[in-house]
A and B are shown apart, each in its own frame.
Chain A
Amino acid sequence: EAQVTQNPRYLITVTGKKLTVTCSQNMNHEYMSWYRQDPGLGLRQIYYSMNVEVTDKGDVPEGYKVSRKEKRNFPLILESPSPNQTSLYFCASSWTGLIAPYEQYFGPGTRLTVT
């Protein structure tokens, strides 16, 4: 079954404790992306990756890191989480056209709470 998986689905942590949210897709998509969703703000792109070892900042990259060492995986790293990073996070993947990414396949989401 074609899917995007994220782990963990729920996470409660404390300020400053490094954490990683994993994302994996089995569709051989080139494009992968992380979004955060906050009430009233919709979905905001954090980082995206066009392919292995190619990453770029989205709208709200501050406080986050990503890496793309393998095509199927795109982990999101919070080196020193803060309460304002409490949010619902989605990973997504897609094929890439000549000028823009195609339809995004979203993972189930990770609800992160930083106290």
Chain B
Amino acid sequence: GQQVMQIPQYQHVQEGEDFTTYCNSSTTLSNIQWYKQRPGGHPVFLIQLVKSGEVKKQKRLTFQFGEAKKNSSLHITATQTTDVGTYFCAGNVQHSGYALNFGKGTSLLVTP
């Protein structure tokens, strides 16, 4: 079954509010990747984190990888309507081949 859990499943915010989605794994991950899928589209890669405790920023988006490499988060500051979509995390379980386990995703709705 899916080894990467992601919460919340849905989030509805007013434009300008912040948003955070969380991923958790019961096993240590080699890396964590984040994707965004717009309605009707395909997933598009956002970022990859590899190091324990790593933090990366892309404009209003902040990505973190936990110290134990078992959890990660994506935080969006001051959401905009263009942020609407589903955000997925995906991790490769350490020492377990090259399979990629996706979380179920968090669907973000932003109302103006």
Contacts and interface: CB of A to CB of B under 8 A. Distances in A.
Contacts of B14: none
Interface of B: 1-2, 6, 9, 30-31, 33, 35, 42-45, 48, 88, 90, 92, 94, 97-105
A107 B42 contact: yes
Contacts of B97: 56
Contacts of A13: none
A90 B43 contact: yes
Contact of A101 (B100, B102, B104): B100
17 contacts: A33-B100, A41-B2, A42-B88, A43-B43, A43-B88, A44-B102, A45-B101, A45-B102, A56-B99, A58-B100, A59-B1, A90-B42, A99-B92, A99-B94, A100-B98, A103-B33, A104-B43
Interface string A24-63: 0000000101010000111111001010000010110000
A81 interface: no
A1 B19 CA distance: 34
Contacts of A44: 2, 102
B2 A59 contact: yes
A40 B42 contact: no
B30 A100 contact: yes
A10 B33 CA distance: 28
Given A42-B2, A99-B92, 8 more contacts: A42-B103, A44-B2, A45-B101, A48-B100, A50-B98, A90-B42, A104-B90, A106-B43
A54 B21 CA distance: 35
A109 interface: yes
